[in-house]
Amino acid sequence: MGLQELWFILIAVLFIGYFVLEGFDFGVGMLMPVLARGKKGSASPDTRRRAVLNTIGPVWDGNEVWLITGGGALFAAFPDWYATLFSGFYLPLLLILVALIVRICAIEYRGKIDDPRWRARCDVGIAIGSWVPAVLWGVAFANIVRGVAIDENKKVVSGFFDLLNPYALLGGATTAIVFALHGAVFIALKTTGEVREDAVKLASRLSIPAVVVAGSFVLWTQLAHGKGWTWILVAAAAASLIGVVALTSVEREGWAFVLTTVAVIGAVGLLFGSLYPYLMPSTIDDAYSLTVTNASSSPYTLKVMTWAAAFMLPVVLAYQAWTYWVFRQRISTAHIPPSIGLPLKSR
């Protein structure tokens, strides 16, 4: 295996890490409005929302570092891939970026002003900033695997609506429902009391549709683009989601979270495994396709990057693991203090 193949694998690992970690972040934001509604006599909707949001409070911004690192590695290791991808997918990637910015601002500023209308607007921003990337990431990666119209100048000549084909839309539905399930299980794992009970029930309801939707997508991917060995990833993703159905029904959210993680790893690994040795197949002419050999940086650049990754990656992994260990305790509505934001009039 050469450095080009190594960096293709490393980029796949970075995006797998991003979708595993940011996947449950998206799920938490997607499900906040649902889990805000409790039984009569339970905590207030705002308290429940804050409890749900606090499950990712210490880690969500660190999880986004995986995307930044993945994008940087893509730019440095395969500059032609980066240029073609970001120019050809400009609109969906711009929508993802705007949604992430809205989400960041909503999370950071939600508690700054003690006003129900302000918090309601921030909650809308969190929901939009979670749903839009959850869908569009699936659409984008499905199109990368399926192939787009790339001409001899390495330029994508198809339009935005060409990306909205049935396979890509199914990919978007898959990432959305799997992230929602991943988030529901994570909330159940990180909370106690009434929020945990409702999260477990919600995860149980989401698990069967997730099996159907995600199972259809991974099977389509395998039959249309997969290789012999990627059947292993298909089986791992499918078996994991089926296991989640059983585990959520008996409230074993710890093992259910392990299996949703395996399902995400299997599905994203299937996409990258089906893609190799291509980076972006061309539907115009196979000669115009980007591959790990014709779109990579120089051997010297890849060598320097490899040494830098060898030193820095363990440090980043150790720090993030330490963060999750420090903030491992469960949260309940009883832990949520009164709002301390300033009144709206004082602003």
Pairing of strands 342-343, 113-114: parallel
Per the structure, how many domains does the chain have?
1
Question: Residue 159 maps to which CATH number?
Answer: 1.20.1630
Residue 32 falls in which region: left (phi positive, over 0), alpha (psi -120 to 50) or beta? alpha
Is residue 90 in some structural domain? yes
Q: How far, CA to CA in Å, does 114 sit from each of 46, 102, 119, 124?
A: 11, 20, 8, 16
What 3-state class would DSSP assign to 342? strand
Instruction: Tell the residue number behind the tokens 């395998």, with chain if given.
Output: 222
The pLDDT assigned to 347 comes to: 43
Range of the domain at 299: 3-313
* Sign, CA torsion 269/275/280/282: negative
Say if residues 187 and 319 touch (Cβ distance below 8 Å): no
β-sheet bridge partners, residue 280? 290
Is residue 344 in some structural domain? no
Is residue 103 in some structural domain? yes
Which residues, including other chains, have CB under 8 Å from residue 248's CB and lie 6 or more apart?
Answer: 185, 188, 200, 203, 204, 207, 256
Is residue 111 in some structural domain? yes
The pLDDT assigned to 339 comes to: 66
**Digitized pLDDT (tens) for each residue of the chain, 347 residues in all:** 689 999 999 999 999 999 999 999 999 999 999 988 867 657 788 888 989 999 998 888 889 889 999 999 999 999 999 999 998 999 999 999 999 999 999 999 988 888 889 999 999 999 999 999 999 999 999 999 999 999 998 899 988 888 899 999 999 999 999 999 999 999 999 999 889 999 999 999 999 999 999 999 999 999 999 999 999 999 999 999 999 999 998 889 999 999 999 999 999 999 999 999 999 999 999 999 999 999 999 999 999 999 999 988 888 889 889 989 998 889 888 877 766 655 555 44
Say if residues 80 and 290 touch (Cβ distance below 8 Å): yes
**Separation between Cα atoms, residue 32 and residue 55, nearest integer Å:** 11
β-sheet bridge partners, residue 278? 291
Q: How far, CA to CA in Å, does 95 sit from each of 5, 163, 258?
A: 30, 14, 30
The pLDDT assigned to 161 comes to: 85
Say if residues 110 and 122 touch (Cβ distance below 8 Å): yes
Is residue 330 in some structural domain? no
> What ranges make up the beta strands (E) of 47-116?
113-114
Number of H helices, E strands in the chain: 12, 4
pTM exceeds cut of 0.95: no
The pLDDT assigned to 341 comes to: 59
What 3-state class would DSSP assign to 159? coil
Is residue 327 in some structural domain? no
The pLDDT assigned to 242 comes to: 94
Residue 279 DSSP one-character state: E
Is residue 141 in some structural domain? yes
**Separation between Cα atoms, residue 17 and residue 15, nearest integer Å:** 5
Is residue 340 in some structural domain? no
**Separation between Cα atoms, residue 189 and residue 139, nearest integer Å:** 29
**Separation between Cα atoms, residue 241 and residue 247, nearest integer Å:** 10
Q: Take residue 101 and report the two structure tokens written for it.
A: 């910015």
